[in-house]
Structure 1
Amino acid sequence: MNHVTAAARIAAIASCLLAAGCDNAARQDLQTSTEAPLVGARIGGPFSLTDQHGRTVTDRSLAGRYRIMYFGYTFCPDVCPTDVQAIGAALKKLETANAALASRIVPVFITVDPARDTQAVVGQFVANFHPRMIGLTGTPEQVAAVAKEYGVAFSLEKPNATGSYLVSHSRQTYLMNPEGKPLALLPADQGADAVVAEIKRWAT
């Protein structure tokens, strides 16, 4: 692949991310190559957060395993639980079809609402979807830093009279390789089977 083509692909990916995800046609266009579509993209990096058990988890803690990285929040009324359900169901399907591969994949949920998503709250949330799913929270500064590393934009909407609020955030599910480098966007919005197919395509 020449540098012009690579630059064009990464520019297309960036446009998709800024639009809070790629549509089906864009995904297909990005995946016509035999090389994973996000190879070379500046996505991911060092982080230090706290999991549902109160343990510090860093990017180094996940070394040697594929990671499914999803950013959302537990009070989300629609897309977050739907996407995380698809991720959890996909991993369960993969455990049946290819247990060896599944054992090398860790699903990670990172909150963008640390004020409400405490360790206990995140723990209850991820336990609903997969027993090996890691739920991560931290200080607002820590969360903002890791979100920036992964190209995830988010903002808190103005609270209503009762103090409740929504969090607007970009919606993407990343498949990262065992070295923590990006491979592809997983189509969680298309359901578990689509996620499994994409994992099988890029994880070896």
Structure 2
Amino acid sequence: MQKGFVDKLVQRIVDNIEINVADIHIRYEDTVLVPGQTVSAGVCLESFVVTTTDEDFVRQFVDRTGSGGQHTKVHKMARVEGFSVYWRIDDKERFALLPTERRSSELREFVAQQSVAPTGDSGGGLERGDLIRPTGAVLKFIHSDDPDDKTGPKFEASFEMDDVKMDFRAEQYEQALSLKDSAAALANWQMFFPYRPKTTPKQDPRAWWRCAWQNTPGR
């Protein structure tokens, strides 16, 4: 069945869709967990790119509409670079206090610095607070959409990943447990907060007695 102009145009677009995401930084800052210190944790991703390639996985624009059905396989390659996870037990950076525009630029610069893998342990990942040091991966994907092709699989994939180096200090583990307990306490506080009177006990003691009664289990 011959494809029309619109069908061919849609196929060209779909076959050559590319995804390019860069400088992703998800960060959490806590100044309450450890008094006098800023605990920070985050995930950094320097880049995530999905491209269309030829059979040798070299980036290329593909047009299968004029091939007469001879080339029915689509080759895609996804590449991850500079993925890392960190937990800093006493971070000197306070991005939450920066103005919005400056904060964005500082976070992007942080990703660039974080994507450079440190060497060794002294002054390296341990000192920098890395849980997972910067690493990368490549996924190669082949899809055959020929319904008459019975000679091979419809989907083929291969995955390659750089060496993964992980560091975990006792202080990081202790802070993670403290954060877990803090989150549980916050969830418990939120459960009873709607019943908390807006006045002080001296101003309206009856309201506070009512609150205590409403929140007494098994009453």
Q: Which has the higher contact order (CA 8 A, sep 6+)?
A: 1
Task: Tell me which protein shows more strand as a share of its residues.
Answer: 2
Q: Shared fold by TM > 0.5? A: no
For the superposition of Structure 1 and Structure 2, which TM-score range results when normalised by the shorter chain?
under 0.3
For normalisation by structure 1, the TM-score amounts to 0.18
Task: Tell me which protein shows more helix as a share of its residues.
Answer: 1
